[in-house]
Amino acid sequence: MKKLNFKVKMPSLRVQKSIGIDLGTANTLVYNKQREEIVLNEPSVVAVDKETKKVLAVGQEAKEMLGKTPDHIIAVRPLSEGVIADYDITEAMIKYFIKKIFGKMNFMLPEVMICVPIEVTGVEKRAVLEAAISAGAKRAYLIEEARAAALGSGIDISAPEGNMIVDIGGGSTDIAVISLGGTVVSTSIRTAGNNFDEDIIKYIKKTHNLLIGEKTAEQIKIQVGTALPLEEEEIMTIKGRDLMTGLPKPITITSSEVLEAIEDSLMQIVMSVKHVLEKTPPELAADIVDKGIVMAGGGSLIRNFPELISKHTHLQVKLAEDPLVSVVIGAGIALDKIDVLRKIEKAER
């Protein structure tokens, strides 16, 4: 009798357990590549005991403790303005999130691709890689947010063609021209989504004598914010504290006022885009003329922002399909492209 020879195909650990992490200033996102879904989206906040330096809570739980803790507990954002402000706490946060997803199953270790801003230093890169390894990753890689955003926006970055991506996060804007898997020209500025909120707070204080909080400023930006004048003015009623009387007071604010408030910050980003274009080699610049610029990151969601950049560069500008998640999805995709991605930092167990 013919012997049947069954071959059992073992699922590859790499495919099973690969994750991409977007270490954002505001939120940390984790993408499970096999499940093709975002499995974690939590605030990048850690609550620490000031005296013992012990981590007490991470993510949503830590954020909820903000402003409600006794004096010896502080809630920290380990990443600020898109860079790592505190390594130890960043490490604790990465470990916590990896453990939260995978539990204590140490025998199934993930391969991790972590996104970092372009300007992170060598020491910071090592710190992030080591944090991932000591959290249980078998292999850890780093990729810049801009390259990940390009991948997550559906751009084939391995082609010998110039692609320009403008990734506007909360704390930093990363602008890069990518070709053949590598970054050819790039810049990173500390003007991004959160600056618009600060601009709105300052403007309302100056022109309406009203003090508003960050949350209200963000709502104003999202609801009536625009990068170009609107044909039909929009208004929004907001509440704050009157600086003259000290009492709560409602006012209405218009879209053109918001534009006036955020215009300088918008233009700083536009000027940086132009600066990167000026430094782009001619052949790649020609590709960008054909293909246009892609915008990603939550900060790019301000109404008419692509149109504003287009107006000043005379190029086509489009938004990524889902700007808030393109970086983390790109990190997942990058795990399949390690061979074509140039200059990928790596650490192994």
Ligand X SMILES: Nc1ncnc2c1ncn2[C@@H]1O[C@H](COP(=O)(O)OP(=O)(O)OP(=O)(O)O)[C@@H](O)[C@H]1O
User: Which residues bind to ligand X, rule: CB under 6 A?
Assistant: 22, 24-27, 82, 145, 169-172, 192-194, 218, 221-222, 297-299, 301-302, 324
Q: Is 27 annotated as a binding residue?
A: yes
Beta strands 293-296 and 317-319 are: parallel
- What's the gap between Cα 316 and its chain centre? 23
Q: Which is nearer to ligand X, 273 or 284 (CB)?
A: 273
Residue 123 C-beta: closest distance to ligand X, Å: 19
Q: With contact defined as beta carbons under 8 Å apart, do 228 and 267 qualify?
A: no
DSSP H helices, 7-159, are: 13-17, 60-65, 87-102, 122-134, 145-152
Apex 262 CA angle, 22 and 216, nearest 5: 70
Q: How far is the CB of 299 from ligand X (least distance, A)?
A: 5
d(CA 239, CA 317): 35
The beta strand positions in the chain, using DSSP E, are: 18-23, 27-32, 37-43, 46-49, 55-58, 73-76, 79-80, 83-84, 111-116, 139-144, 163-168, 173-179, 182-189, 210-211, 235-242, 248-254, 293-296, 317-319, 345-348
Does the annotation list 300 as a binding residue? yes
Residue 211, Cβ neighbours under 10 Å: how many?
16
Does the annotation list 297 as a binding residue? Answer: no
Of the pair 27, 183, the CB lying nearest ligand X is at: 27
Quote the least distance from Cβ 199 to ligand X, whole Å: 12
Return the structure tokens found at 115.
């996104």
172 is in an annotated binding site: yes
Residue 188, annotated ligand binder?
no
Q: Which two tokens stand for residue 68?
A: 């409600």
Nearer to ligand X, 161 or 195 (CB): 195
Q: Which residues contact 329 (CB under 8 A, 6 or more apart)?
A: 20, 31, 151, 152, 322
Q: Which is nearer to ligand X, 42 or 161 (CB)?
A: 42
Instruction: Decide whether 293 or 324 has the Cβ nearer to ligand X.
Output: 324
Rank residues 147 and 221 by Cβ distance to ligand X and give the closer one.
221
CA atoms of 211 and 7, how far apart (whole Å): 69
| 299 has binding-site annotation | yes
Residue 26, marked binder: yes
Provide, rounded to whole angstroms, the least separation between the CB of residue 285 and ligand X.
26
Does 25 carry a binding-site annotation? Answer: yes
Residue 150: CB minimum distance to ligand X, A: 14
CB of 283 to ligand X, least distance (A): 29
Distance CA 287, CA 164 (A): 9
CA 134 vs. chain centroid, Å, equals 24
186 marked among binding-site residues: no
In the bound state with ligand X, the residue whose beta carbon lies nearer, of 144 and 161, is 144
> Binding site for ATP: residue ranges?
25-27, 170-172, 218-221, 298-301
Residue ranges for the known binding site are 25-27, 170-172, 218-221, 298-301
